[in-house]
Amino acid sequence: MAENTVSHKSWYDRTYKYQLILSVIALALALGYLAFFYSANGDIIHKDISLTGGTTITVSGANSPEEIQNALRARFPDATARSISNIRTGEQIGFFVESTASAEELKSALEELLGVKLTQENSSVEFTGSALSSSFYKQLRIAVLIAFIGMGLVVFVIFRTPFRSLSIIAAGFADIVMTLALIDILGMQISLAGIVALLMLIGYAVDTDMLLTTRVLRGEGSINSRISGAFKTGITMTLTAIVAIGVSLFFVYGNSETLRQMFTILLIGLGFDIFNTWVTNAALLKWYAEAKRLT
């Protein structure tokens, strides 16, 4: 991207517009997959119990969550089981089971499977009504929409021209859409923590795009040198965040489902942000700057 050599500069100048075709194809594929997923599932994500309603039973012990899940799915196809580990030692101290089944049905099946009576001493039961969860999920969707609109308004106030603002908004939108598509492909069940991670991703996505836009449209030197300077700073920011989140994910992977989901979504989103900022948005801004002769 930098103009360190004539050949490198020449290659970027010749191909940056064609890179936009790749960006359009990637976004179209993501949107197409989400449309297909919505038609098949009635929503754009797999929701967990916290967003659909159902029962969560936490049990003490070192039983295999995989074996319990497989056994329960004969009666409850949507049942999932995950281990609970000591965050310091990594030793399993229990497991929890989730299903849309009623608390009585799921508890009875677990007792039969484990061969023990589930009491307050060795277990806990939580039930969330579907109406409450549905209402909560609608509020979360509104919160994401408001956050995105608010981000767009702030960007427009700062740059005051439609193209500059829309290029940043488009990159942030692409980050979210591509992240959601990959999450669905991976079969992740999104909880409240996942929605929070998507909200955080909106902020991450805007940071590098605003840096790039400011440097390209208000900086000094040639267009390529401005992009190169912004790239060095922006990629350092993003890679630092990726390393920090990756290390955190490594330490909490088997201990906290909530943190594991948040960190996984953020890592996926930051990966797409590198593409959407330094391929898509950089090409759009270079095209705009050349058309306006901002050299």
Assign 3-class secondary structure to the chain.
CCCCCHHHHHHHHHHHHHHHHHHHHHHHHHHHHHHHHHHHHCCCCEECHHHHCEEEEEEECCCCHHHHHHHHCCCCCCCEEEEEECCCCCCEEEEEEEECCCHHHHHHHHHHHHCCCCCCCCEEEEEECHHHHHHHHHHHHHHHHHHHHHHHHHHHHHHCCHHHHHHHHHHHHHHHHHHHHHHHHHCCEECHHHHHHHHHHHHHHHHHHHHHHHHHHHCCCCHHHHHHHHHHHHHHHHHHHHHHHHHHHHHHCCCCHHHHHHHHHHHHHHHHHHHHHHHHHHHHHHHHHHHCCCC
pLDDT digits (tens, 9 = 90+) for 246-281: 998 888 776 677 888 999 999 999 999 999 999 999
Three-state SS for 127?
strand
CB 226 within 8 A of CB 244: no
Phi and psi, residue 47, nearest 5°: -100, 145
* Cross-strand partners of 125: 57
Q: Give mean pLDDT, residues 177-188.
A: 94
Looking at the structure, tell me whether residues 209 and 95 fall in a common domain. no
In a domain, 1, yes or no: no
> What residues make up the domain containing 177?
6-47+131-291
The pLDDT, as a whole number, for residue 270 is: 95
Residues sharing a CB contact under 8 Å with residue 260, sequence separation 6 or more, in sequence order: 249, 252, 253
In a domain, 80, yes or no: yes
Which of 112, 128, 144 delimits the end of a domain?
Answer: 128
In a domain, 36, yes or no: yes
Total number of domains constituting the chain: 2
Which of 128, 157, 190 delimits the end of a domain?
Answer: 128
Share of the chain above pLDDT 90, in %: 26
Quick one: pLDDT band at residue 6, thresholds 50, 70, 90? very low
With vertex at residue 185, the alpha carbon angle to CA 45 and CA 136, rounded to the nearest 5 degrees, is 15
Quick one: pLDDT band at residue 94, thresholds 50, 70, 90? confident
Looking at the structure, tell me whether residues 21 and 147 fall in a common domain. yes
> What whole-number distance in Å separates Cα of residue 149 and Cα of residue 145?
6
The pLDDT, as a whole number, for residue 254 is: 63
Looking at the structure, tell me whether residues 62 and 182 fall in a common domain. no
Quick one: pLDDT band at residue 241, thresholds 50, 70, 90? very high
Three-state SS for 130?
helix
Looking at the structure, tell me whether residues 195 and 207 fall in a common domain. yes
Looking at the structure, tell me whether residues 135 and 94 fall in a common domain. no
> What whole-number distance in Å separates Cα of residue 192 and Cα of residue 56?
15
In a domain, 280, yes or no: yes
Looking at the structure, tell me whether residues 263 and 185 fall in a common domain. yes
Report which residue type is found at 244: A
The pLDDT, as a whole number, for residue 92 is: 81
For all residues of the chain together, what is the average pLDDT?
85
Rg of the chain in Å (alpha carbons): 23
Looking at the structure, tell me whether residues 137 and 121 fall in a common domain. no
Least confident of 6-10, 27-31, 83-87, 174-178: 6-10
Tokens matching residue 95 = 């497991």
> What whole-number distance in Å separates Cα of residue 166 and Cα of residue 149?
12
The pLDDT, as a whole number, for residue 84 is: 80
Quick one: pLDDT band at residue 145, thresholds 50, 70, 90? confident
The pLDDT, as a whole number, for residue 240 is: 94
Looking at the structure, tell me whether residues 87 and 144 fall in a common domain. no
Tokens matching residue 69 = 């899940």
pLDDT digits (tens, 9 = 90+) for 206-234: 888 888 988 888 777 888 889 999 999 99
Looking at the structure, tell me whether residues 252 and 216 fall in a common domain. yes
- Whether 176 has a pLDDT exceeding 80, the answer reads yes
Looking at the structure, tell me whether residues 243 and 168 fall in a common domain. yes
> What whole-number distance in Å separates Cα of residue 197 and Cα of residue 195?
5
pLDDT digits (tens, 9 = 90+) for 11-70: 778 888 888 899 999 999 999 999 999 999 888 998 888 788 788 888 888 788 888 999
The pLDDT, as a whole number, for residue 216 is: 86
